[in-house]
Amino acid sequence: MFRRVAIIGGGAAAATLLGELLERQSAQPLHLDWYTGATSAPARGVAYGTTSDRHLLNVRAASMSMFAGRPRGFLDFVQREDPAIAGTDFLPRRRYGDYLEAEVARALQQGKAHGHDVNIIPFTVDALVPENDGVTLIHGEENHRADAAVLALGALPPQPLGGVSKAALDSGRYVVDPWQQLAGAAETSPPPRKVVLIGLGLTAVDVLLELAAQWPQTKFIAVSRHGLLPAAHLSKAAAPADDSAELITSMRDAPEIHRWLHLLREACAQETDWRPVIDSLRPHTSGLWHELPLEQRARFLRHARWAWERVRHRMPPQVLESIATLEQAGQLQRQRGRVQSVDLVDNTLQLTLSHAGETRTLDADLVIQTVGLDTDVRRTRHRLVRQLVTNAHITADPLGLGAQADAAGRLRHNGASWPHLFAIGSLLRGTLWESTAMPEIRQQARNLADQLLGD
């Protein structure tokens, strides 16, 4: 058992691990240091810090429990306030933030009853030195020693795309972090006439819904490689027809992306709807990812990632209806193209796009980057991660998917795993692939708590 554990990060992954640790009785009391950073609302993080009811969970309420051992946790929480809520409903993300905060408060009380000591530290960790017998954490002028440390950092700070000029960035009209833009949208006067979004995933959908409501006279153009929105969930939940055992076996027998796509198309063609087939893969995705050689993972990222994420990370049906309404009203237009450059020309942002061998330009008053999750530790400006990479304390995933780790979440360096330094969540994407949604996070938290509190 690790007697003193440090959790670094103030979002949902950190809160889930905190809850798993504090709810358990152990042979000896646990001392837990939780470095939440400068966030004003620990546990919510970026994902659940939104206050807008337009921003919905993209998973049904019944599947959003914080704890693997209490599958009805979130549903019970919201039904205490409104018994009419169904497990199949897609609820506002702010409600889930409320649930996370309530569970953290309950876990702190439970931990105190079990004799655990918790120190919530509202600072970021500037540097970290892992060793074979523990970890030293540094923030400001202070050093703290822990038996084990867990990086639960969530998404890394977004970086501007290649080809964006310094002039465009300096103008303040190329927005790298869309959530900062949403926070100040109400104060923007006058609103921009023409806004271009780069990317068409779930982040872009959130931005479009909010800004279109606040700026009803603004025209939005969303640009992506294929110009397609995320797929939508069915209005009614559909369970997988079977466990897809035959499909999984066939995929394991031939770990090659082209073959996998062929098998998936065949399986989907045999069903009335493709969604249950995709959903049946979820418990096996990490194992399948592990089977893929590095060159096949790279091929997947180049050619199939966009299609997989479009069908895997779906939006609620009511969100699809809202986006369709914007398109029908002419307020939103989708375009296909790859952004080659963004520059400031005559006080206007000018994008150069390429598609099907042709190049064209597009002007905008404001450009918002909505390409989604950043996990590339090799080029991040996150201070702690940059220090760990620079000092060779961790090894970057070669494809930019977080840091290398073993199956237990121990971070690796020089071909070996640190015995006392772990990660949970998005930093493990290169190891597990599916590592950002709550169903995966809660299982990681449960397994990691077993390790931290075990013999």
With respect to residue 212, please indicate whether it lies within any of the assigned structural domains.
yes
Alpha-carbon separation of residue 320 from 84, 424, 438, 442 (angstroms): 23, 31, 22, 28
Residue 353: strand pairing partners: 339, 360
Residue 238 lies in a domain: no
C-alpha–C-alpha distance, residues 125 and 137, integer Å: 7
Specify whether 32 is located in the same domain as 110.
Answer: yes
Please report the pLDDT score of residue 241 as a whole number.
65
Within-domain flag for 128:
yes
Give pairs for 66-72: CB < 8 Å, separation 24+. Answer: 66/12, 66/15, 66/16, 66/19, 66/99, 66/100, 66/103, 66/438, 66/442, 67/16, 67/19, 67/20, 67/23, 67/103, 67/442, 67/446, 68/442, 68/443, 68/445, 68/446, 69/446
CA distance 236 to 276: 12
Residues of the chain with pLDDT under 70: 186, 239-241, 455
**Do 121 and 265 sit in the same domain of this protein?**
no
Same domain, residue pair 327 and 212: yes
Flag whether 239 is in a domain: no
Question: Do 46 and 127 lie in a common domain?
Answer: yes
Q: Give residue 455's pLDDT.
A: 62
Give the per-residue pLDDT at 24. Answer: 85
Q: What is the pLDDT of residues 403-451, one digit of tens each?
A: 999 989 999 999 999 999 999 999 999 999 999 999 999 999 999 999 9
Same domain for 86 and 103, yes or no, is: yes
How many domains does the structure of the chain reveal? 3
Nearest CA to 209 among 176, 182, 183, 227? 182
Q: Which amino acid is at 339?
A: V
Query: Which residue reads 């930093």 in tokens?
Result: 427
Q: What pLDDT is recorded for position 41?
A: 78
- One-letter amino acid for residue 36 of the chain: T
Q: Which of 57, 69, 52 is nearest to 103 (CA)?
A: 69
**pLDDT tens across 173-192, in order?**
999 999 888 877 767 779 99
For residues 19 and 97, state if they share a domain.
Answer: yes
Pairing state of beta strands 410-413 and 31-35? unpaired
**13 shares its domain with 86:** yes
Identify the domain boundary among 369, 388, 405.
Answer: 369
Examine the domain organization and report whether 422 and 285 are in the same domain: no
pLDDT attached to residue 85: 97
Angle between helix axes 257-269 and 245-253 (nearest 10 degrees) is: 160
Are residues 197 and 125 located together in one domain of the fold? no
Q: Which of 338, 369, 400 is the last residue of a domain?
A: 369
Using alpha carbons, select from 153, 119, 63 the residue that is nearest to residue 424.
153
Domain presence at residue 204: yes
125 and 20 share one domain: yes
Closest listed residue to residue 123, CA positions, set 94, 102, 144, 108:
144
Any idea what the CATH number is for the domain that residue 12 is in? 3.50.50.60
Residue 432 and residue 342 share a domain: no
Are 214 and 352 part of one and the same domain?
Answer: yes
- Report how far residue 281's alpha carbon sits from residue 316's, in angstroms, rounded to the nearest whole number: 20
Q: What is the strand order of the sheet 31-35 is part of?
A: 117-121, 31-35, 4-8, 148-151, 416-423, 410-413
The residue out of 327, 342, 369 marking a domain boundary is 369
**226 found inside a domain:** yes
Strands (E), 114-153: 117-121, 127-131, 134-139, 142-146, 148-151
Amino acid letter, 150: V
For residue 332, the SS3 value is strand
Token duo for residue 76: 């019970």
pLDDT at residue 157, rounded to an integer = 93
Domain that holds residue 292: 245-312
**Interatomic CA distance for residues 211 and 203, integer angstroms:** 12
